[in-house]
Structure 1
Amino acid sequence: MANRINTETLSGDRRYERSITIDRSKVKSIHELKKILAVKLGLPIERFDVVKMAEALVYENQEPVTSNTNLGNPIHIIVHPETRPVFDHLVTSAKDMIMDFEEEKRTVMSCGHGIVPDNLYDLCWNNLKDGAVQFQCPAIDTFNVRGNQKTCDEIWTLYELTVKAQLSADERILFEMRLSKNSIQKENGVQECPFCRCLSIRASEKNNRVRCLNCYKTKPDNAEFCWQCLHPWKVNAAADFCGNLECTTAKGLHMSQDILRTCAKKTIDQYRDVPAVRACPSCHALVEHERGCKRMPCKCKYQFCFVCLKPWRSDGCGYNSKCVSVAPCQVISQ
């Protein structure tokens, strides 16, 4: 059955207001929907996203469209800029803090670190999706202005992000919406369920195990998550640790330390007795070396040498650099 739907941008840009007839029964995914909208809007499919207004998020391309999917009418979209240029006075020779091999122009942040605008946008948006209420620099602090701190952690304002990531008007509004939602949830002691995005509360402040009542109705075996790391609760027994190694609870740190201390040793390139598991020097998530060379990219986009643990860049370690020694088992702390 054909439906008449309208499109609007968050910023009210009338250039992208359309009235479109589509057959919802034939649209099986967000990607298929975006292909239809792209033709009507005259935009490449990568230039816009469909917004989940209630959650202040965007639909991923692979998400299915079912009879229960509430796209809304009008369908709200955000339009991304065609490019994200760097102003001449902000160009820096500093390496990209996330991917040091980037050759595109980098913009200098207020803390002095450099980053490609596209990477800046991805970094901050991913943090917002994970519940962040502010933007912090994740770069290793090579300027030594904060004592022994391993990461910079300088706070960036939304205004700085708008200028240096060249946010479109739609992106700026979506960022504000998500920031507000994250702040409200934090103040009211609620968390978004990572499965269905409904708001949940925990039984007590000391209990990190949360059951989403909405998920429990349909998937009782997969309805619990950890209050701290927002990952599925993996431990079935009555434990105070969720079972996710990247969790920041004290028990999680103890378990991570045990794994680092007792993991097997292996040979990487010409280096022997290298611990097979390392903690990322940036985000402290555990990373296991399965195969390949000593270069290790973490899921947080930080890259380091698995042998000596130096950052993978010109002033750290690289393919043409020989490691002076194999770094010992790491000691992690809160």
Structure 2
Amino acid sequence: MAKMINTETLSGDKRYERTITVDLQKTKSIYDLKKKLATELGLTVDRFDIVKMADALVYENQQQLVSTDLDDPIRIIIHPEMRQVYDHLVTLAKDMIMDFEEDDRTIMSCGHGIVPDNLYDLCWNNLKDGAVQFECPAIETFNVRGNQNSCRAIWTLYELTVKAQLSADERILFEMRLSRNSLQKDNDIQECPFCRCLSTRSSEKNNRVRCLNCYQTNPENAEFCWKCLHVWKENAAADFCGNLECTTAKGQHMSQEILRTCAKKTIDDYRNVPAVRACPSCHALVEHARGCKRMPCKCKFQFCFVCLKPWSSTGCGYNKRCASVAACQTLS
């Protein structure tokens, strides 16, 4: 089954307007579609993304292709070939996200450094998570109880455009997503984590939300928690979703009990190390299953499981011995 597909960029660049015939029986995923488009557009697959206009997001490569979900015309964003750093913005400061980066770092208005590609990924991931402004995440102070101070300086979209070398299409996509996030925040609206449709709750005291769209197609998995955006577990209480990551008081209480009562283990030659820790950055619970003391969290923060210091040249590392085993954390 063949289908005619038209392409346009968000910025209206005429060079990438095409009408392409796609065999849907051979095109199973978004990545398959991108490979076909790449040939027609004269680009590599990583040079562009397909935009889901209703959500102001891009389709992930592994998503299954449902032709009825695609816009007509298909809107794409073109990424720059390279994100270079202007000579006057090059800094010797380490990358605030990955301190082992050797590529040129650009200096931000707050004084911290970052590789432009990492800056783009950081800010886009924050937008996908609902951010309405861009904050510097560089860690400035830290203590073993899990409390730490980040820079949190605000970056403007103009600064990102210059220092992340945003293309015209990327700039428009950032503006679209910022507007959507602001709308959700100001009008007490949440985005369903399953289908991305906007949902409201019955009252400010009720964190159990039913997505009306999901309820029509998958009623057994249509409810989520307003606070943590995880599925509302089937056997959960009426006032708590049952997810340990939840920021409600009950979620923190359960997490604290796990931290307090978890087993102790030996890591390298360090004894009596709690087997479960709360990530010092996002406070998600992390269990040490095997391996060394270096622990990467799903939020991309890396820390030492023994002493809880950040894993970096200024924190803990493979060649640094921990002064002591950090005690059980207290969540605040």
- What band does the TM-score fall into relative to the shorter chain? over 0.9
Residue identity in the other structure for 1:209: R
How big is the shift at 1:243?
2.2
In structure 1, distance between residues paired with 2:277 and 2:149: 16
In structure 1, distance between residues paired with 2:99 and 2:290: 22
How big is the shift at 1:251?
1.8
Deviates more, 1:107-116 or 1:272-281: 107-116
Match of 2:75 in 1: 76
Match of 1:332 in 2: 331
In structure 2, distance between residues paired with 1:287 and 1:101: 24
In structure 1, distance between residues paired with 2:224 and 2:191: 10
The unaligned stretches of length 5 or more in structure 1 are none
Match of 1:63 in 2: 63
Alignment of structure 1 residues 118-137 onto 2, 5 Å: 118-137=117-136
Question: 1:120-150: CA deviations, max 9, x gaps?
Answer: 111111111111111112221249xxxx852
2:48 is equivalent to residue 11 of structure 1: no
Match of 2:243 in 1: 244
The 3 A distance-change label for structure 1 pair 267 and 149 is: closer
TM score, norm. by length of structure 2: 0.95
Match of 2:47 in 1: 47
TM score, norm. by length of structure 1: 0.94
Deviates more, 1:2-11 or 1:76-85: 2-11
Would you say the 8 A contact 1:99–1:303 is kept in 2? no
In structure 2, distance between residues paired with 1:299 and 1:149: 18
How big is the shift at 1:238?
3.0
2:38 is equivalent to residue 38 of structure 1: yes
Deviates more, 1:149-158 or 1:270-279: 149-158
Residue identity in the other structure for 2:56: A
Q: Runs in 1 of length 4+ with deviation above 3 angstroms?
A: none
| Count of residues paired in the alignment | 328
The 3 A distance-change label for structure 1 pair 235 and 96 is: farther
In structure 2, distance between residues paired with 1:171 and 1:328: 45
Question: 1:71-95: CA deviations, max 9, x gaps?
Answer: 1221100011111111222222222
Instruction: Report sequence identity in percent.
Output: 80
Match of 1:212 in 2: 211
2:139 alignment partner, SS class? coil
Would you say the 8 A contact 1:151–1:282 is kept in 2? no
Cα-Cα RMSD: 1.6
The 3 A distance-change label for structure 1 pair 220 and 201 is: same
The unaligned stretches of length 5 or more in structure 2 are none
Would you say the 8 A contact 1:98–1:303 is kept in 2? no
